[in-house]
Amino acid sequence: AQSVTQLDSQVPVFEEAPVELRCNYSSSVSVYLFWYVQYPNQGLQLLLKYLSGSTLVKGINGFEAEFNKSQTSFHLRKPSVHISDTAEYFCAVSEGYGNKLVFGAGTILRVKS
């Protein structure tokens, strides 16, 4: 069975500082990996996804993530955050296209001025 662990429940950071949100997964087969962002009382928006190929994936809003198979990680990074990046971020894994997503517990990113 798949599982996703987001190691930090909250990450406070000052504006324009870099940030890394950590995500580790477990699965017995090849997986597809996703990062979503959720603003209060809204649905989820896809930031980026890893399906195959280059392990460094670039997404929207300046975010990127690196797939590390040996460490079973898919950490999300941004070199310089903005106040508007304050939201909750979810890492998710799927064992194949068309299959269900399993989500991590989420990480709340709080950007302070």
Partner 1 sequence: GAVVSQHPSWVICKSGTSVKIECRSLDFQATTMFWYRQFPKQSLMLMATSNEGSKATYEQGVEKDKFLINHASLTLSTLTVTSAHPEDSSFYICSAKRAGGFEAFFGQGTRLTVV
Residues in touch with partner 1 (CB under 8 A): 32, 36, 41-46, 49, 51, 90, 94, 97-98, 100-106
Q: Compare residues 12 and 18 and give the one whose CB is closer to partner 1.
A: 12
Which residue in 90, 85, 87, 89 sits closest to 104, CA to CA?
90
Question: For residues 44 and 91, is the Cβ–Cβ distance under 8 A?
Answer: no
State the minimum distance, in angstroms, from the CB of residue 88 to partner 1. Answer: 9
CB of 81 to partner 1, least distance (A): 22
